[in-house]
Amino acid sequence: MIAVLLFCGFSIYVPRGPRSELFVEVPPRTGSSQMAALLQSHGLIWNRYVFDAMRLIKGGTLKAGEYRFDHPVRMSEVYARLEKGDVYTVALTIPEGANIFDVAQRVESAGLGSRDAFLKAANKDVALVSGMEPDAQTVEGYLFPDTYHFQRHVTPDQMIATMVKRFRQAAENIDLMSNYHSVVTLASLIERETPIQSERPLVASVFVNRMNKGMPLMTDPSVIYADLLEGKYKGTIFRSDLDGDSPYNTYKHTGLPPGPICNPGIASLQAAMHPAQTQYLYFVAASADPSGTSRFAKTLEEHQKNVEAYRKAQRAAGQR
């Protein structure tokens, strides 16, 4: 009896485990006895039966998933981690204004899959957003900017579903419950035009005022997006791009482009829902202006003065 107690005490209190990084995958619906055998086979616990006894005493639910161990630990710590579900995850941050190409690259850089596989899924998984965007060709606009924590073997479909779900939650929080296509598309243009939150309702007002007058939006980010879709963007816009027939060419076509050009955050969505009441029809975007702020104008004459001031600021910045 004493020998048994000593053995149990040894198994529970003497640390065991790897000296370097080790990943252990506990499949879903694995029973506690199977789990104990799996842990013992990987050298994480001394004895599966002592682990089973601990399970009977402690109770709780042991959770499936991938766990990372990099040093020896006591059996009680192994048990606690499985009970908590302290699975190994990789952080993936999607910034406001990232488009599907940006997101796909971040997925690949994080080691969560290939860029091409993610883009393929982004074009395939349109059913996830069909209730909001019936004619969607991709899930662009609905991959909500946030920091996500995914397990290493997550699929592109699972990541996209998680991001779309997060969008739905965020939309509900700001009472965006209808007219998704117009709001999200407009918000995506706003997001790409200015990084300054206080300017976004003003940028929204320019776009709305121009649409009300039947004027083209003439926004460069949509032209860039057209080039990205065709795989020909070289880091700058050429005259041929402005003359192109893409429906995303807002210099040539009036109204909103066919869909979002990026994934906007809360501030841009709210700006699209509640544009400022102005008479502005023109602006020089903060994203391009060395002054760091946008320049708004009601008339073409005012806008031309703003453009000249912007060019002067550019020259001054170049001299420095």
- pTM: predicted TM-score of the whole model, two decimal places: 0.87
290 pLDDT more than 70: no
Local confidence band at 225 (pLDDT 50, 70, 90 cut-offs) = very high
Q: Are residues 115 and 45 in the same domain?
A: no
5 pLDDT more than 70: no
Q: Out of 44-53, 108-117, 151-160, 230-239, which region has the weakest mean confidence (pLDDT)?
A: 230-239
Local confidence band at 282 (pLDDT 50, 70, 90 cut-offs) = very high
Local confidence band at 219 (pLDDT 50, 70, 90 cut-offs) = very high
CATH number of the domain where residue 113 is located = 3.30.1490
Which of 123, 138, 173 is the C-terminal boundary of a domain?
173
Distance CA 319, CA 307 (A): 18
Which of 84, 103, 134 is the C-terminal boundary of a domain?
84
Q: Out of 11-15, 35-39, 84-88, 207-211, which region has the weakest mean confidence (pLDDT)?
A: 11-15
Local confidence band at 312 (pLDDT 50, 70, 90 cut-offs) = confident
Q: Are residues 68 and 98 in the same domain?
A: no
Query: pLDDT for 149-207, tens place per residue?
Result: 999 999 999 999 999 999 999 999 999 999 999 999 999 999 999 999 999 999 999 99
Q: Are residues 201 and 275 in the same domain?
A: yes
Q: Domain limits at 167?
A: 90-173
Local confidence band at 319 (pLDDT 50, 70, 90 cut-offs) = very low
Q: Are residues 36 and 80 in the same domain?
A: yes
224 pLDDT more than 80: yes
Percent of the chain residues past pLDDT 70, beyond the cut: 94
Q: Are residues 135 and 56 in the same domain?
A: no
Per-residue pLDDT, 291? 62
Distance CA 65, CA 157 (A): 18
Q: Are residues 198 and 286 in the same domain?
A: yes
Which of 30, 57, 84 is the C-terminal boundary of a domain?
84
239 pLDDT more than 90: no
- Which residues, at least 6 apart from 55, have a Cβ–Cβ distance to it below 8 Å? 32, 36, 62, 79
Number of other CB atoms surrounding residue 238 within 10 Å: 12
Longest dimension (CA), the chain: 96
Domain count, the chain: 3
Q: Are residues 198 and 291 in the same domain?
A: yes
Q: Are residues 69 and 148 in the same domain?
A: no
Per-residue pLDDT, 32? 86
Q: Out of 50-54, 152-156, 212-216, 219-223, which region has the weakest mean confidence (pLDDT)?
A: 50-54
292 pLDDT more than 80: no
Contact 205, 276 (CB under 8 A): yes
Mean pLDDT over residues 141-146, rounded? 98
Q: Report DSSP letters for 76-120, one per residue.
A: HHHHHHHHHT----EEEE--TT--HHHHHHHHHHTTSS-HHHHHH
* Closest to 262 measured CA to CA, from 171, 175, 164, 186: 186
Q: Are residues 104 and 8 in the same domain?
A: no
Mean pLDDT rounded to a whole number for the chain: 91
Per-residue pLDDT, 320? 45
Q: Are residues 136 and 168 in the same domain?
A: yes
Question: Is 179 inside a domain boundary?
Answer: no
Percent of the chain residues past pLDDT 90, beyond the cut: 72
